[in-house]
Structure 1
Amino acid sequence: MNFVQPIRDPELIREIKRFLREDSERNYMLFVTGINSGLRISDILQLRVSDAKKPYFNIIEQKTQKKKRIEMTPGLRKEFKDYIERREDHEFLFKSREGVNKPITRSMAYKILRRAADQVDLDDIGTHTLRKTFGYHFYKQYKNVAILQKIFNHSDPKVTLGYIGIDQDEMDRAMKGFKI
């Protein structure tokens, strides 16, 4: 399994959004949902239209089987408003073109993200990049590792900081300034 990084540069996020919006509304919304919710891809792919009508996601995590309630950001709620307008409550938000009402697969989500990353020459990208990108920018904005640790259901703040790449940033900064 490859180690993936968050997308640290806001301009790269904007470029990916632009590319995905032109490519496919579904793919754009998949990306926007991931970077604005901190949910794992396995949980995002199970979301239905009815889930996007509330101001929060109320889910049972696929990985942990724990109940989780995540407030939707105002920006994400606004994006969903148009996206779900003509859709039925029972439909998956990120429907596959295969079958009647099935979500895209995890591997298809990976291909979507990989294609977008290739457009902006970005490496170390995977489906977990969405969750890590959310965490990285949440931490940079609020500097509150305790809340982020709860959102991610991590056991220790050090795990959370390592997970979102803050440790890597600090190591990179230290190495750039190191002299003998």
Structure 2
Amino acid sequence: MMNTVDAIKNLSQINKMKEYLKTRSTRDYCLFLLGINTGIRINELIHLRVSDVMTADEKVRDFLDSAAYANPPVYFNRMVREAIQDCIHSEGLEHDDYLFKSKKTMSPISRQQAYRIISEAARYSGIEGAIGTTTLRKTFGYHAYQKGIAISLIQKRLQQSTPSETIQFIGLANERHSLPIILDVNL
């Protein structure tokens, strides 16, 4: 049985992790940002190639080029696009390279390496909950919900079967829903 991990719900802890990772490695910072801003599974995240995120004329795409994440599509916000650009330039990556290439080989980093990156940054940031690579997806889902994104869209992005599964997954099952639901079309 796998241990369950938590979403990072505290924004100051997220910011502390971002600061820590940015000083350590543009690749690791980019991995974290992409994970918490897109909800992509870690195995798919580490296997992204530069060509999935950048056009032939070297412009970072606004949306991920992926059939698996087409509905809804994965949007790269400005901060994510900048992190991708910095990662590609600082790591000297080519169009066919893995975005999260190992420092030692041409292969992508492993799930274990991704786990080490995330858990080390979490420890540094004083996060005591259960942290793992799935924390990135859970953090994305939790904060998307807190910003008013419909649970049905989050469910689709996280590729889960039911809204109740998604609510459980992102750690809302035992929380009082703090967002009032206002159905105002303001015609």
- TM bin (shorter chain): 0.7 to 0.9
Could you tell me which amino acid in structure 1 is paired with residue 146 of structure 2?
K
Give the C-alpha shift of residue 143 in structure 1: 4.3
Equivalence for 1:9: 10
Shift of 1:155: 1.4
Distance 2:14 2:174 in 1: 19
| Code of the aligned partner of 2:155 | Q
RMSD: 1.6
What number of residue pairs does the alignment pair up? Answer: 164
Tell me the residue number matched to 1:79: 83
Give distance in 1, aligned partners of 2:75 and 2:125: 30
User: Of 60, 63, 69, which residue of structure 2 is paired with 1:56?
Assistant: 63
**Retained in 2: the 8 A contact 1:21–1:27?**
yes
- 1:140 pairs with 139, 146, 169, which one? 146
Q: Distance in 2 between matches of 1:130 and 1:168?
A: 20
- Quick one: distance in 1 between partners of 2:30 and 2:155? 25
- Tell me, yes or no, if the aligned pair for 1:6 and 1:132 is still in contact at 8 Å: yes
Question: Pick from 104, 109, 116: which aligns with 1:111?
Answer: 116
Question: Hey, what does 2:135 align to over in structure 1?
Answer: 129
Residues in 1 aligned to 2:165 and 2:153: alpha-carbon distance in whole angstroms: 13
- Distance between the aligned counterparts of 1:52 and 1:168, measured in 2? 37
Distance 1:134 1:50 in 2: 24
The one-letter amino acid of 1:16's match is M
Q: Per-residue CA shift, 1:152-180, capped at 9, x if unaligned?
A: 12111111111100113339xxxxxxxxx
Greater share of residues in strand = 1
CA distance in 1 between counterparts of 2:44 and 2:158 reads 13
Q: How does 1:29-108 map to 2 (within 5 A)?
A: 29-53=30-54, 54-59=61-66, 67-69=68-70, 70-85=74-89, 86-99=92-105, 101-108=106-113
- Consecutive unaligned residues in structure 1, runs of 5 or more: 61-66, 172-180
Higher normalized helix content (fraction of residues): 1
TM-score normalised over the length of structure 2: 0.82
Q: Which runs of 5+ in 2 are unaligned?
A: 55-60, 178-187
Query: % of aligned pairs identical?
Result: 36
Which residue is 2:21 aligned to?
A: 20
Distance of 1:22 and 1:119 partners within structure 2: 13
Q: How far, CA to CA, are the matches of 1:27 and 1:128 in structure 2?
A: 15
